[in-house]
Amino acid sequence: GQQLNQSPQSMFIQEGEDVSMNCTSSSIFNTWLWYKQDPGEGPVLLIALYKAGELTSNGRLTAQFGITRKDSFLNISASIPSDVGIYFCAGLDNNNDMRFGAGTRLTVKP
């Protein structure tokens, strides 16, 4: 099945900095989702995107559905220590299969 390439694999940032991460594929996706996973917990849905070009915010988080339908971006503004965790992208492909990226591990230094 189609693979999702998520980058970067990890990020170390200072509290207050902005963060950007992305997810790309060689194939078209119909829906993009962004999840956050805290240590020892399951992924929690942050943002869902349903059409190309869509830009959606959830507090300090903003995600975009790429215009080519092959990528998506997640930005976190003014990071705080509780933003620490692993961020996963997921996409629904043309076969209606959900694919997950390998995750971006975010560390925020106070």
Partner 1 sequence: NAGVTQTPKFRILKIGQSMTLQCTQDMNHNYMYWYRQDPGMGLKLIYYSVGAGITDKGEVPNGYNVSRSTTEDFPLRLELAAPSQTSVYFCASSYLGKVEQYFGPGTRLTVT
Write the CB contacts of 25 (distance below 8 Å, at least 6 apart in sequence): 2, 3, 4, 5, 70, 71, 91, 99
Instruction: Based on the shown chain and the rule CB under 8 A, indicate whether residue 103 belongs to the binding site for partner 1.
Output: yes
CB of 14 to partner 1, least distance (A): 25
Stretch that binds partner 1, among 11-19, 36-44, 52-60, 70-78 (CB under 8 A): 36-44
Q: Give 3 or 68: the residue with its C-beta nearer to partner 1.
A: 3
Pick from 52, 49, 43, 56: which is nearest to 91 by CA?
49
47 near 61, Cβ under 8 Å?
A: yes
What radius of gyration, in Å, describes the C-alpha atoms of the chain?
13
Pick from 88, 104, 106, 108: which binds partner 1 (CB under 8 A)? Answer: 88
Instruction: Based on the shown chain and the rule CB under 8 A, indicate whether residue 56 belongs to the binding site for partner 1.
Output: no
**First-to-last C-alpha distance (Å) of the chain:** 40
Instruction: Based on the shown chain and the rule CB under 8 A, indicate whether residue 1 belongs to the binding site for partner 1.
Output: yes
Q: Give 9 or 68: the residue with its C-beta nearer to partner 1.
A: 9
Residues at the contact surface with partner 1, assessed by CB under 8 A: 1, 4, 6, 9, 31, 33, 35, 40-45, 48, 88, 90, 92, 97-103
